[in-house]
Structure 1
């Protein structure tokens, strides 16, 4: 199979996106940002991530994923707690609405953090815009970049969070494809107070110092991934996704005294594709 044809078949977000979605629901603030090429896909991923943003105790989760191109050529992507619809092209400019289920913080293993305020699981909504480029030369590759704006409309937190992502995919072998991505997230002061703040009541209950963070740059992200074509329709994938908290989020006593600013997610997945 030619390398360009390989790009068109397996450069999709499928399997890695499934594992990345684990992070989206817990410690990650960034949505899945991976290139899309497969016409249709269903899959399942399993991975390990931290229990909450800034924590160090881990959990294991299983998430589904769907990629579907409508008869009109529009693209629906759903990976774990995150979904987006593309009104643009499968390459070139892309844009549309997005929705995400942001998991809360309750019943955590850490005996100190368990004493501070609990956070309800909530739904975020917003939109995204991006651009995807496919190079079909002697060394084919695929590039994607975009910005995602999400808000909870004050249900659990106010304001918004804004994420910028870039990613690239290149073939390493006839059946192996490698991906890499970088990102950064800005959040409102209400977001940081909800997920990283320590109120006076929290301080009295937990022994942590009170902390009232502001907004700003919350984290940098990066990931590495491999996809392997098993046969005509089946694909396997593996990924490692890292986040480094920064700014007021990283300075929270939840992070400095009870957790870590470096968050790691890893996972594997299996997917079935068809045209």
Structure 2
């Protein structure tokens, strides 16, 4: 069975958008709505590949009675013990999907990678500006590891976002990000062992750690009515550092990874 990459999260266009936009069409200082929804999108079959797949993923946002925030977007979930606007922090979980039975006949001869659960935490800050041109800014750093279950070491991600209203019912947003990884991570997902080389014909490659990718995205969200939202997103990743030098990428795939999708969600109080 083919596996979807963790980055299919970008396909939940509405879910990623509604986490930074308000229930009110203009006043960004109001409380975010709770919501449940999902999206459908297209992405590459694995990180660094060029064959594409289509996937469907869920999303949810819920504020507890104690004022804590649970967010779940596709393969990623976090629980915020901090403020809804201001300093934020808490645990994070991510399901990193593997690479198995892929379409590429050469990469299919490279060692398979199992799906693994990553755990860690995040810290961040969210700012909401109220005025003639309201906007919302958000930035956070997330650190996760899988405790050597599939790879050794950890991943560190920095992500930023900004949202602006362009109409009473329309918002646009964008963001930039970067990810640093351990050598063990790159060896698992981008390395080619001597056994892999003998089977596939690719050269042996042992990457180190460091910058793994840079990302950018653009999205739009439309409020259909007080309860329903629809959105669309395009998400770009450029594989960097030692990962970009892997023959899995240079000979069989591409550094430029594009994910796009649409979504819909139901908001409730």
Give TM-score scaled by structure 1 length.
Answer: 0.88
Could you say what secondary structure the match of 2:167 adopts?
coil
State yes or no: 1:43 paired with 2:34.
Answer: no
Aligned residues: 251
Task: Determine if contact 1:26/1:102 at 8 Å carries over to the other structure.
Answer: no
State which of 133, 154, 177 in structure 1 corresponds to 2:127.
Answer: 133
Distance 1:36-1:170 versus aligned 2 partners, 3 A rule: closer
**1:24 counterpart residue number:** 6
Equivalent residue, structure 1, for 2:109: 115
Deviations 1:203-246 (A, max 9, x none): 00000000000000000000000000111100000000000011
Instruction: Determine if contact 2:100/2:112 at 8 Å carries over to the other structure.
Output: yes
Residue in structure 2 matching 1:250, options 244, 247, 261: 244
Q: Any residues of structure 2 matched to 1:211-222 within 5 Å, and which?
A: 211-222=205-216
- Aligned partner of 2:266 in structure 1 is 272
Residue ranges of structure 1 left out of the alignment (5+ in a row)? 1-21
TM-score, normalised relative to structure 2: 0.90
Unaligned runs of 5+ in 2: 11-15, 23-31
Looking at structure 2, the residues matched to 270 and 146 of structure 1 have their Cα atoms a distance apart, in angstroms, of 25
Regions of 4+ moved over 4 Å: 25-28
- Alpha-carbon RMSD across the aligned residues, in angstroms, is 1.5
Aligned pairs for 1:3-152 (under 5 A) are 24-25=6-7, 35=20, 37=22, 38-152=32-146
What whole-Å deviation, never above 9, does each CA across 1:136-188 have from its counterpart, x for those lacking one? 01100000001000101100001111001111000011111001000000000
The reply on whether 1:165 has 2:147 as its aligned counterpart is: no
Deviation at 1:23, TM superposition (A): 5.4
d(CA) in 2 for partners of 1:174 and 1:36? 12
Q: Name the CA shift for 1:27/1:244 in 2 (closer, same or farther; >3 Å).
A: farther
